[in-house]
Structure 1
Amino acid sequence: MPISTLTADATHFALFDLPARFALDQVALDGAYRTVQAQVHPDRFAGGDDAQKRVAMQWATRANEAYQVLRDPLKRAIYLLQLRGIDVQAEQNTAIAPDFLMQQIEWREAIDDGAAARNVAALDAVLSELRDAARIRFDKLAGWLDGGADQPAAETARELLFIQRVAEAAGRQIERLEDA
């Protein structure tokens, strides 16, 4: 779809002429991104007037931002939910299931223990467990989003954000120990 036919409020999916769903063909996204960039890249408008250059830069920036959102499964899920009027409220809504809260505490304690013991293998084990937990939730998330079950999808997205933060903390500890 030519960029000239899109409005400024077009969704990321419309920008790349892709269906608005969680399951996404990465090859199709990559190809669509390259096509859009070829249409709007500022170098194509180097000889144009200032307004053309500015518009090209805005569309190129928009395409980059849209691509970054759609290529990341968690960002894509949150974006889909936003399009449906559901705010994940990750920062404000910290209400999570008690069993997940306990699991999160256990992961954080395991990270603290591994860091204190300078045990990279223990931290790697926590990271592996976090990846498994994320994979299970992404499978659920895909079914909920593509099936229209937005509330469970939002709760799962919040859990994935927590898992992501814990995994980043574990990664930082591993880097710290390996750099020491």
Structure 2
Amino acid sequence: MDFTQTHFELFGLPQAYALDRDKLDAAYREMQNTVHPDRFAAQPDAEQRVAMQWATQANEAYQTLKHPVSRGVYLLKLQGIDAFDASNTKMAPAFLMQQMEWREAIDEARAGNSTAALDALSDDLRSAHRRIEAQLADLIDTAHDYAAACEAVRQLRFMDKLIAEVGDVYEELETY
């Protein structure tokens, strides 16, 4: 096994944003069965350490590839690009306006104790998240437009935060 492999190579997957999640899960399980430290308990310390390193690398790779934002950041990193470079905070004005509207909708749902409003907002946010993911796949895999992909990754991160915030408001409303 080669510790210099990319996460995609480690699991035998094509280096692309759009990936087959079932294939990723199966490759991860297979890798875990091969390198799990328990399988090396009776082996010398050096082999146990290597198995632990492989298991750690497999876990890190799996976590990176299974999450849309992390996968996008990783693919951009492979191109030598830092998606969250502090000097690049460009964001489409339309997205920023939409984000403000979503935040207002969260505040209104919270103030009105409205789970129905949260349900509708959650559906809207998840739909927008899927659209941005599809756009990101096209930008990275087809167009190779990495500058635009950076913005899409940042948008996805905003979407994740908004979706998490909606989840927090659900929990708040359940306690009342």
Q: CA 1:164–1:92 in structure 2 vs 1: closer, same or farther (change >3 Å)? A: farther
Given that residues 111 and 170 in structure 1 are in contact (C-alpha distance below 8 angstroms), is that contact kept between their aligned partners in structure 2?
yes
1:15 corresponding residue in structure 2: 10
- State how 1:126-165 maps to structure 2 within 5 Å: 126-147=121-142, 148-165=144-161
8 Å Cα contact 2:8/2:14 also seen in 1: yes
Match of 1:105 in 2: 100
Determine if the alignment matches structure 1 residue 176 to structure 2 residue 148: no
Maintained 8 Å contact 1:90/1:158: no
Q: 2:70 is matched by which residue type in structure 1? A: K
Native 8 Å contact 1:45 1:53 kept in 2: yes
Distance 2:85 2:156 in 1: 10
Tell me what 1:80 maps to.
75
TM-score after normalising by structure 1 = 0.90
Partner SS for 1:174: helix
- Does the 8 Å CA contact 2:139/2:146 hold for their aligned counterparts? yes
Please tell me the residue identity of whatever aligns with 1:157: V
In 1, Cα distance between equivalents of 2:30 and 2:159 = 34
Task: State the shift of 1:92 in Å.
Answer: 6.3
**Of the candidates 49, 55, 60, which is equivalent to residue 60 of structure 1?**
55
- Matched with 1:34 is 29
The alignment's C-alpha RMSD in Å is 1.5
Q: Flag structure 2 segments of 5+ consecutive residues without an equivalent.
A: none
1:89 Cα deviation after fit: 0.6
Q: Partner letter of residue 127 of structure 1?
A: S
- Residue 64 of structure 1 aligns to a residue whose secondary structure is helix
8 Å contact from structure 1 (residues 90, 161) kept in 2: no
Distance 1:91-1:179 versus aligned 2 partners, 3 A rule: farther
Structure 1 runs of 4+ off > 6 angstroms? none
How many residue pairs get aligned? The number is 175
Between the aligned residues of both structures, percent identity stands at: 50
- Alpha-carbon distance in 2 for matches of 1:44, 1:150: 41
CA distance in 1 between partners of 2:55 and 2:134 (Å): 32
